[in-house]
Amino acid sequence: MPPTREQIVRTAIERHGRSREALLPVLQEVISQKKRFLSDRKLYEVARQMGIPEADVYGTASFYSFLDIEPRGRHVIRVCKSISCYMAGKDELIAAISGKLKIELGDTTPDRRFSFLPVNCLGMCHRGPAMLVDDDIYTEVTAQQALEILDTYA
């Protein structure tokens, strides 16, 4: 039997502590354990067990772009929207991906196979444009390469 939401949160808190400074690592661990997004119920459980106001937990979760608070596709594509990636051609990359998936940046395909999200920075400004698919980073990506990369996640 898989662990319950309460058990997952309890384990994360035992590992990282109950202090406010531990909130981000707790949320990161919880999101990695179950369905890759933080539902309202999970956020409530974190707040309850840590003794932190729900608004603070939600505010933290919604601030960080890698802490999803809504269901995403099986594969999450994140494209860096920094000025460096813009200058290196990120708009062409976004247009190619949008055309292939038939969704806009910020959307999820109807079959829930892909979510396509912007991110402020991937830490690869010197090798842009950059994109992340799940946990795989791709740098200096052309529009054509992006389409070929997405085919490998089919």
Which residue is it, tokens 């269901």?
71
CB 93, CB 150: distance < 8 Å:
no
Per-residue pLDDT band for 64 (boundaries 50, 70, 90) equals confident
Tell me the one-letter amino acid at 22: A
Residue 4: predicted pLDDT: 87
State the pLDDT at residue 151. 95
Residue 128 confidence (pLDDT) above 70: yes
Q: Is the pLDDT of residue 30 over 70?
A: yes
Label residue 5 by pLDDT band (50, 70, 90).
Answer: confident
Mean pLDDT, rounded, of the chain:
92
Q: Assign 7 a pLDDT band (cuts: 50, 70, 90).
A: very high
pLDDT at residue 121, rounded to an integer: 85
> What's the pLDDT band for 44 if we cut at 50, 70, 90?
very high
Query: Taking the chain, what is the end-to-end CA distance rounded to the nearest angstrom?
Result: 30
d(CA 109, CA 59): 27
Amino acid at 135: D
Q: State the Cα–Cα distance between residues 39 and 76, nearest whole angstrom.
A: 17
Q: What is the pLDDT of residue 66?
A: 85
- State which CATH number among 3.40.50.1820, 3.30.830.10, 1.20.1630.10, 3.40.30.10 fits the domain covering 75-151: 3.40.30.10
Residue 34 has pLDDT above 70, yes or no: no
Q: Read off the pLDDT of each residue in 140-153 and give the average, rounded to a whole number.
A: 95
Instruction: Read off the pTM.
Output: 0.81
**Domain map (residue ranges) of the chain:** 5-63, 75-151
